[in-house]
């Protein structure tokens, strides 16, 4: 089986991280892959460390006929069974070939961008449902969770982010947009003296959020580190992970916390909230409730045995249902299905 992955993307982001993790995990399965990316020396270096030698194209935003031609030349020369397009601007550039075109659905999509796809995949049921509601056939889209392969994660040295080793530390991971819920976290941190906060992520509201942290007086105890491809190393250095997003249909922060064996507090929103069994593998708090979040943080921080039990339960559930060993077979099932479909004779034209 031969798979060609293609992604333009930004230097960092959720889709980009999911892409890198997926192709690296599939490479460890000795799957025959070719990887095409937007030229990016840092991404190339990370993929090279996973023994992947990517092909780099410009993938410019407008009127980039060269990238389209070169991408389809790569498809023609490699003759893949499946082309996986990870970003919509790449999906529209994939021409006809003898295999199947599998497209990724991110947070947003347009019907015109997926017309050349034979099959779609998304990381949450909410995204699957949204595409079906837009008219896409139910049997041509699959739910495939993001692949998280923590392995042996070494915690980052807190000193590199100017954080005392013995301080209580919480980490938030996510898109820094108006729905991030970070303002609620700021209010909770302001109520708990000597509590430090690391924020991993970026987005349209990043500067506004930093300004707000300064305004309410917690900026000296807060570290905004941007998108980090070593996020698991930062999470491993924390005492607690908080997932405050008001709109988060995937719950990656919960899964990453579990993968690192960390206790987690979650706003009771659609994605993360559905993963949590309250007081068993995490703590649920109402959305937009600073006081409840602050009390939950104090509770988990003060009751070490409770925190350890929650973290252990989350870690066990992650290994049972969400680790790469469980998720990779789901990808392989979809791949095999598409390969079999490609062998079927085409319906005669009228």
pLDDT tens across 217-251, in order? 999 999 999 999 999 999 999 999 999 988 788 88
Note the pLDDT of residue 297. Answer: 97
Task: Please answer whether residues 294 and 312 qualify as being in contact, where contact means their C-beta atoms are separated by less than 8 angstroms.
Answer: no
Residue 232 placed within a domain: yes
Same domain, 313 and 168: yes
| pLDDT tens-digit readout, 11-65 | 988 899 999 999 999 998 888 999 999 999 999 999 999 999 999 999 987 768 8
pLDDT band at residue 345, thresholds of 50, 70 and 90? confident
Tokens 């190339």, residue located? 44
Residue 349 placed within a domain: no
Same domain, 168 and 317: yes
Same domain, 79 and 206: no
Same domain, 52 and 63: yes
Same domain, 173 and 62: no
The region, left, alpha or beta by phi > 0 then psi within -120 to 50, assigned to residue 155 is beta
Note the pLDDT of residue 350. Answer: 47
DSSP summary character for residue 166: T
Residue 268 placed within a domain: yes
Per-residue DSSP letters for 78-100? H--SEEEE-SHHHHTT----SSE
| pLDDT tens-digit readout, 152-203 | 688 999 999 999 999 999 999 988 998 899 999 999 999 999 999 999 999 8
pLDDT band at residue 346, thresholds of 50, 70 and 90? low
Query: Which three-class secondary structure state does DSSP give residue 241?
Result: strand
Same domain, 118 and 238: no
Same domain, 116 and 180: no
Note the pLDDT of residue 64. Answer: 80
Same domain, 31 and 174: no
Same domain, 169 and 261: yes
Residue 80: CB partners within 8 Å, gap ≥ 6?
Answer: 2, 3, 4, 34, 97, 99
Same domain, 314 and 329: no
CATH number of the domain residue 247 falls in:
3.40.50.2000
Residue 75 placed within a domain: yes
Residue numbers of the domain that contains 243: 158-322
Residue 60 placed within a domain: yes
> 132-136, 138-142, 244-248, 307-311 — which is least confidently predicted?
244-248
Query: Is the pLDDT score of 151 beyond 70?
Result: no
Residue 141 placed within a domain: yes
Same domain, 241 and 334: no
Same domain, 277 and 221: yes
Distance between CA atoms of residues 26 and 119, nearest Å: 19
Domains: count for the chain: 2
Residue 350 placed within a domain: no
How many other C-beta atoms lie within 10 A of the C-beta of residue 164?
12
Q: What mean pLDDT is predicted for residues 62-82?
A: 92
| pLDDT tens-digit readout, 259-306 | 999 999 999 887 777 899 999 999 999 998 999 999 999 999 999 999
Strand order in the sheet with 240-243: 222-226, 195-200, 168-173, 240-243, 264-267, 283-285
Residue 348 placed within a domain: no
Distance between CA atoms of residues 306 and 169, nearest Å: 17
Distance between CA atoms of residues 349 and 131, nearest Å: 28
């Amino acid at each position: 089986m031969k798979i060609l992955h293609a992604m333009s993307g930004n230097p960092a982001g959720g889709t980009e991280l999911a892409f890198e993790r997926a192709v690296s995990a599939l490479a460890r399965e000795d799957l025959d892959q070719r990887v095409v990316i937007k030229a990016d020396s840092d991404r190339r270096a990370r993929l090279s460390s996973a023994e992947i030698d990517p092909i780099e194209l410009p993938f410019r935003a407008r009127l980039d006929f060269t990238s389209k031609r070169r991408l389809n030349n790569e498809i023609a020369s490699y003759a893949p069974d499946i082309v996986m397009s990870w970003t919509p601007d790449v999906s529209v550039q994939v021409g006809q070939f003898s295999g199947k075109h599998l497209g990724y659905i991110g947070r947003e999509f347009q019907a015109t961008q997926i017309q050349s796809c034979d099959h779609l995949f998304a990381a949450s049921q909410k995204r699957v449902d949204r595409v079906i509601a837009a008219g896409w056939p139910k049997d041509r889209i699959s739910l495939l969770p993001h692949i998280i392969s923590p392995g042996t994660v070494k915690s980052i040295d807190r000193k590199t982010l100017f954080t005392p080793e013995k301080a209580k530390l919480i980490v938030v991971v996510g898109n820094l947009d108006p729905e991030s819920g970070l303002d609620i976290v700021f209010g909770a941190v302001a109520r708990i003296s000597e509590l430090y906060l690391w924020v991993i992520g970026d987005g349209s509201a990043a500067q506004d959020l930093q300004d707000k942290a300064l305004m309410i007086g917690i900026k000296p105890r807060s570290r905004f580190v941007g998108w980090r491809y070593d996020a698991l190393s930062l999470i491993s250095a924390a005492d607690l992970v908080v997932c405050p997003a008001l709109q988060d249909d995937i719950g990656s922060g919960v899964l990453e916390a579990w993968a690192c064996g960390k206790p987690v507090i979650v706003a009771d929103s659609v994605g993360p909230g559905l993963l949590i069994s309250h007081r068993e593998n995490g703590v649920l708090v109402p959305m937009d409730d600073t006081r409840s979040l602050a009390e939950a943080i104090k509770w988990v921080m003060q009751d070490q045995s409770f925190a350890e039990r929650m973290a252990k339960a989350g870690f066990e559930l992650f290994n049972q249902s969400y680790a790469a060993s469980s998720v990779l077979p789901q990808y392989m099932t979809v791949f095999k299905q598409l390969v079999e479909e490609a062998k079927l004779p085409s319906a005669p034209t009228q």
